[in-house]
Amino acid sequence: MFIKTLIAAGVALATSQAHALQTLDYGWEDGVGTILGSFGNLADATNVSGSQSGSDGAGSYSVSGARSGSRFLHVAEAPLGGTPQAYLAFITGLQAGDQVSASFWGYDSSAGTNPSLRIWGHYADGADINSYVKSAGSSNTYTDGSGWSQLSNTWTFDGGATDGLVIEARLYSMTSGGNNRTDFWIDDLRISAPDHATIQFAAALPVPEPESYALMLAGLGMMGCIARRRSRR
């Protein structure tokens, strides 16, 4: 009898801890958004469309276009040095034990060698995306060099002294190159987080009424707000 009671209590607890989830999909289709911020030698974040060709430190490149839709993100490492990070999303209001999943597609035509991309995360104060607290780690998987490939990871938030998680694209270049520069492309960002959290990403600002424009800029900063799709697990 006592054992049965314990089991029933455990099941109830597990059920009450399951949070409703929100999922964000962003493919840069607004034609304006780029990134929320960066660290290191991150250069030329631009919202691009169509084929991209030219040459960088890794040689000539040719990208036929977006992974889906018509728009995608371009970033570069210039000059070459360190491991630049592009901040793709900022999840705030997180609590200990929360799970956050993130994925994006990166373009890579060099299998088994740099240049390559990786998904990574770090903890930050939810009030300031530039307040680095500590690494949140990720997997050791790189883009596979077959063209567009997907990178993903799930983090269990450890709480501690903060409430924010920054999702990064990390850029890995050859250590030297002809013009001291490497170009990278990213598309189809997806973030899943508990409903009580807030997901920020670099979407276009909504078109405002003229008189409310200054107020809106003051209120929002330059960050996009979320159109989010809710689902329950």
Q: How many residues does the chain have?
A: 233
**Rounded least distance, CB 63 to Ca ion, Å:** 12
> What Cα–Cα distance (Å) separates residue 181 from each residue in 106, 114, 121?
17, 13, 24
Half-sphere exposure of 145 toward its Cβ, with a 13 Å CA cutoff? 7
What is the C-alpha to C-alpha distance for residues 161 and 138, in angstroms, rounded to an integer? 20
Query: Which pair of structure tokens corresponds to residue 90?
Result: 């900022």
Query: Which pair of structure tokens corresponds to residue 82?
Result: 């360190």
**Which of helix, strand or coil describes residue 8?**
helix
Q: Give the distance between the most distant pair of CA atoms in the chain.
A: 75
Residue nearer to Ca ion on the CB measure, 76 or 136: 76
**Rounded least distance, CB 70 to Ca ion, Å:** 7
**Rounded least distance, CB 143 to Ca ion, Å:** 6
Q: Are 105 and 66 in contact (CB under 8 A)?
A: no
Contacts with Ca ion by CB under 5 A lie at 27, 66, 69, 71-72, 108, 110, 116, 145, 187
Residue nearer to Ca ion on the CB measure, 36 or 66: 66
Residue nearer to Ca ion on the CB measure, 72 or 123: 72
Residue nearer to Ca ion on the CB measure, 72 or 157: 72
Which conformational region is residue 218 in: left (phi greater than 0), alpha (psi within -120 to 50 degrees), or beta? alpha
Residue nearer to Ca ion on the CB measure, 149 or 192: 149
Residue closest to Ca ion when measured from CB atoms: 27
The β-bridge partners of 147 are: 108
**Rounded least distance, CB 119 to Ca ion, Å:** 14
Residue nearer to Ca ion on the CB measure, 21 or 66: 66
**Rounded least distance, CB 72 to Ca ion, Å:** 5
Residue nearer to Ca ion on the CB measure, 17 or 176: 176
Q: Are 40 and 231 in contact (CB under 8 A)?
A: no
Q: For residue 219, count other CB atoms closer than 10 A to its CB.
A: 9
Q: Is the peptide bond before 208 cis (omega within 30 degrees of 0)?
A: no
